Amino acid sequence: AQSVTQLGSHVSVSEGALVLLRCNYSSSVPPYLFWYVQYPNQGLQLLLKYTSAATLVKGINGFEAEFKKSETSFHLTKPSAHMSDAAEYFCAAYSSASKIIFGSGTRLSIRP
């Protein structure tokens, strides 16, 4: 079955520390991948997308993600966390049925 798996439902880092949110996709999913961010009681906002142009994708707010086909991974990183980064993050992919499927999400907390 086509799926997107996010490892860790909750990640907590100190302000200024590296942020790493993990995402793996099933190999049957076409490699069109996205990261979205969601603030409380808000919709989802696109952070970045991979569409095979480059394996390292830069997004908004200083986030970037690297596509690794051999590992079927698309992890999200940010070198230095800011308090405003606290939110829920979702990895998503286009399925072969041309619909977007989402992972279960990772809640990012930032410690002062």
Partner 1 sequence: EAEVAQSPRYKITEKSQAVAFWCDPISGHATLYWYRQILGQGPELLVQFQDESVVDDSQLPKDRFSAERLKGVDSTLKIQPAELGDSAMYLCASSLDRDRATEAFFGQGTRLTVV
Residues engaged in binding partner 1 (CB under 8 A): 9, 30, 32, 34, 36, 41-46, 49, 51, 90, 94, 97-105
Minimum distance from CB of 55 to partner 1 (Å)? 15
Nearer Cβ to partner 1, position 91 or 110? Answer: 91
Provide the Cα torsion 101, 76, 82, 10; round to 10°. Answer: 60
**What CA–CA distance (Å, rounded) separates 1 from 89?**
22
Contact status, residue 76 vs residue 23, Cβ threshold 8 Å: yes
Quote the least distance from Cβ 36 to partner 1, whole Å.
8
